[in-house]
Structure 1
């Protein structure tokens, strides 16, 4: 299932994000900035451990560490169902170099990783 605004392929290409082949329950929102940047992508999907490892490598974010990424602002994501209860989250952030930077938050339940991504043009 894919739920979002616009074409998923077009949005992913714009932010230089590649989903793992086995990603399920994909939901996304592409928010254009009012100050002239090229927008922000909010992305959620579920994936196995192998798919998560591949995704993190492709996105060039650092290793997952306990807690949410530094400076993480998931409040905007609450509009479309994101919530971050408890303390079982792990997070990673991409480098501040290049054209797109990403922050990733992951929670694992019943052998499946629930992955939340905020990708922004810098």
Structure 2
């Protein structure tokens, strides 16, 4: 499939399953006071942003996997996040109107990127 048509070849239910997996990851690392609606909005914007920015399906899955891995790694060393921290760590703070409310330092743990991609591709 060429780079122009890969998006039309990706079934909509696959994208919905990816959003669900993103939501599951976000819910594991959020404080209990954050609403599911806010998290779903963040998950959808994150998925859409990566869907539009990707050059092909592999790039799409890689981008999402890397960011989810970064979130998982960061969550192991910090307490549960709030929506502003989460949105900023997913580069969505500006979209959510939360830019500048938190400071985050992204992790570049590349060792298990393949594992993250396998989890997303298993969708």
* Global fold match (TM > 0.5): no
Which structure is higher in helix share? 2
Structure 1 length-normalised TM: 0.34
**Larger-Rg structure:** 2
Higher relative contact order (CA 8 A, sep 6+): 2
Which structure is higher in strand share? 1
